[in-house]
Amino acid sequence: MAADATFKQSCQKSHDNLFFDYIGENPNWKPVSLTHVEYPKGDLVGLVLAWCSLMPIFIIVSLMTLIVFRRELHTVTMLAGLCINEAVNMVVKHTLAQPRPCADHLYQPSTFGMPSDHSQFMGFFAVYMVLFIYCRLHYSQSTTMWDDLLDNLWKHAVALGSIALSLAVAFSRVYLRYHDINQVAAGLLIGGAMGVAWFMFTQTVLTPLFPVITAWPVAEYLMIRDSTLIPSVMWFEYTQSRVETRKRQRRGSHNSYYKSHTQ
């Protein structure tokens, strides 16, 4: 209790938040179910932003699910980069030791505020996704101008969506009074820089090692794979599935014919 009181007294007593007057002086905060993210009760915008604030959790769960079901080595390295990014955030936070803005939340965060870990996570994610989409990903087997147009539209949509999502999460941290604008901006900048650095490290150092890693016995046992040289994984799996299905159908038809003429 004494530690909580000390933490509350050390927060920044400032009303320079652009949305302070909109929410009010002492709003009735309500947490999102199963989380500690709170929003002003009855505030629909706050509710939406509270769920946006949970996006890093959704992304981590999605990446772990992809790793389990797809076993793609590049997905593993991306998740590793996000973990390193979070470790850097913890070090910087404890080094700067800047308190969070004052807010009468029911659940008071026990960590410092500079930089925002949510913003840094999303900054890394958005920048990495943009670089991945434009520098590494080949979505379709483009054979016509129309295919190229659809391919580019898809890439632009995902890139802009990633950026918009990161900005929405950053905005939510200010709106819900978990961070001030400077803490959020610092998080986005550090996360973006980490995203660029990790993508370059993955491209120049890790990717050439992928064939070696996938040849390890443990990687073969776990069915870890590297699809870097495949232009379109979706198209490749689709065509290979059709070829294998036709082979098995012909084999089944041949076996049925053989049995019917030998009985």
Report how far apart, in Å, the C-alpha atoms of 182 and of each of 1, 39, 162, 263 are.
Answer: 29, 21, 21, 82
The length of the chain, given as a count of residues: 263
Same structural domain, 33 and 134: yes
Task: Please count the structural domains in the chain.
Answer: 2
Would residue 124 be called left, alpha or beta, if left means φ above 0 and alpha means ψ between -120 and 50 degrees?
alpha
Cis peptide before 115 (omega within 30 of 0): yes
- Which residues lie below 8 Å from residue 222, measured CB to CB, with a gap of 6+? 71
> Residue 4: inside a domain, yes or no?
no
Same structural domain, 105 and 146: yes
Tokens for 163? 């950026």
Same structural domain, 112 and 192: yes
Same structural domain, 150 and 105: yes
Same structural domain, 37 and 162: yes
Give the up-direction half-sphere exposure of residue 163: CA atoms within 13 A in the CB hemisphere: 10
> Residue 5: inside a domain, yes or no?
no
Tokens for 252? 């089944």
> Residue 71: inside a domain, yes or no?
yes
pLDDT per residue of the chain (263 residues) written in tens, 0 to 9:
555 554 455 566 555 566 666 666 667 666 564 567 777 788 788 888 888 888 898 999 999 998 998 888 889 999 999 999 999 998 988 888 777 777 776 677 767 778 888 899 999 999 999 998 888 776 555 566 776 777 778 888 888 999 999 999 998 888 888 888 888 999 999 999 999 999 999 999 988 888 888 889 998 888 888 887 777 777 777 777 788 888 888 776 655 555 555 55
> Residue 3: inside a domain, yes or no?
no
pLDDT of residue 201: 94
Same structural domain, 53 and 120: yes
pLDDT of residue 142: 56
Same structural domain, 184 and 258: no
> Residue 247: inside a domain, yes or no?
yes
Same structural domain, 35 and 67: yes
Q: Look-up: residue for tokens 């500079």? A: 114
> Residue 65: inside a domain, yes or no?
yes
- Within 10 Å of residue 66's Cβ, how many Cβ atoms? 15
The pTM of the full predicted model, rounded to 2 decimals, is 0.75
Tokens for 134? 């434009």
> Residue 72: inside a domain, yes or no?
yes
Q: 3-class SS at 225? A: strand
Same structural domain, 118 and 58: yes
Same structural domain, 208 and 243: no
Q: How far apart are CA 230 and CA 236, in angstroms?
A: 8
Same structural domain, 45 and 138: yes
User: Which of 213, 125, 211 has the alpha carbon at shortest distance from 166?
Assistant: 125
pLDDT of residue 10: 58
> Residue 242: inside a domain, yes or no?
yes
pLDDT of residue 255: 58
Range of the domain at 257: 232-262
Same structural domain, 125 and 104: yes
Q: How far apart are CA 199 and CA 201, in angstroms?
A: 5
CB 180 within 8 A of CB 12: yes
